[in-house]
Amino acid sequence: MDRRVSAVRVVLIGLAAVLASHAGAADATKPAESRPAEVPARVVPLAAPAVSAGAAQARKQGSALRLGTPRTSVECKVKSPTYEGRAPLRAVRRAILQKRPLRVVALGSASTAGAAASSPRASYPVRLENDLEGTIEGLKVEMFARGLSGDVAEETVERIKAEVAEIRPDLVVWQVGTNDAVARIDAETFGNLLRGALSWLARHRIDVVLIDPQYVERLATDARYTAIVNEVATVASEKRVLLVNRYDAMADLARQHPGSSYLANDRFHLNDLGYRCMAEYAARAIVAGILQADAENGAMH
């Protein structure tokens, strides 16, 4: 496996130039063109993100859980759904009811590592931790940020087992796909890696929330990039895990705020606003998953 991982790193180095020439992008430090790009329609139809009728009824009737409504900043409000799926987060619900700290591993690449954030406190894992604690009464979150800039799915899959064995998390929030798209990794190959990892996590009864790649104007019409975005959605639907629609939501933000105010100066990585929005969207998905688990538990009585 070490040889395969090394090969991926070599491919990343060599293919960065290919992306620049074939996707019409300079490297990430150069400014994007001012001409807005057409945002392609989502190829994969998925379930509506609204909380199910059962979860809504559970909230109405009352529950041992004390959950508020996750906040959405004015700057982060979008018309498109910020998450998809109706997956119950059973391990998260169990941790809350047992009144013990919720252990969360945030996996991913530069967005999880906080690249271009003004400080560690502005990174998305820290913001997500604060948002969850501010939404769920009495909750203490132990957040383990395991972002590694340049990481691709193949490398993350190798890290997952070690992280799970060490930390024993209740929830994995996995920001995935961006570097695979940049490295021009085949979407089917990527999808199979993702499926295998999600199956392994499911067997160990660990809840999962996926976060798809960020919207980048200069890559909006790049077929390889959007193929990975769609593959994340396909796998999330197949494996019945919650998906944070970062790509679609930030495409909406780009339309609402020309100039991509959620991106850093390199027009690729997120800035503080982008991380704030990312955390808020993830918090909403997590709360929906907790309510879904609570509704299912109520239906069993």
Each of the 301 residues of the chain gets a pLDDT tens digit; together they read: 443 334 444 333 343 343 334 444 333 333 333 333 444 445 443 333 444 444 444 444 456 677 878 888 999 999 999 999 989 999 999 999 999 999 999 999 999 999 989 999 999 999 999 999 999 988 999 999 999 999 899 989 888 988 888 999 999 999 999 999 999 999 999 999 999 999 999 999 999 999 999 999 899 999 999 999 999 999 999 999 999 999 999 999 998 877 668 889 888 999 999 999 999 999 999 999 999 999 998 654 3
Q: Where are the domains of the chain?
A: 56-299
Tell me which CATH code domain 56-299 carries. 3.40.50.1110
Q: What is the pLDDT of residues 144-200, one digit of tens each?
A: 999 999 989 998 988 898 888 899 999 999 999 999 999 999 999 999 999 999 999
The pTM (predicted TM-score) of the whole model is 0.79
Write out the chain in H/E/C secondary structure. Answer: CHHHHHHHHHHHHHHHHHHHHHCCCCCCCCCCCCCCCCCCCCCCCCCCCCCCHHHHHHHHHCCCCCECCCCCCHHHCCCCCCEECCCCCHHHHHHHHCCCCEEEEEEECHHHHCCCCCCHHHCHHHHHHHHHHHHECCCCEEEEEEECCCCCHHHHHHHHHHHHHHHCCCEEEEECCHHHHHCCCCHHHHHHHHHHHHHHHHHCCCEEEEECCCCCHHHCCCHHHHHHHHHHHHHHHHHCCEEECHHHHHHHHHHHCCCCCCECCCCCCECHHHHHHHHHHHHHHHHHHHHHHHHHHHHCC
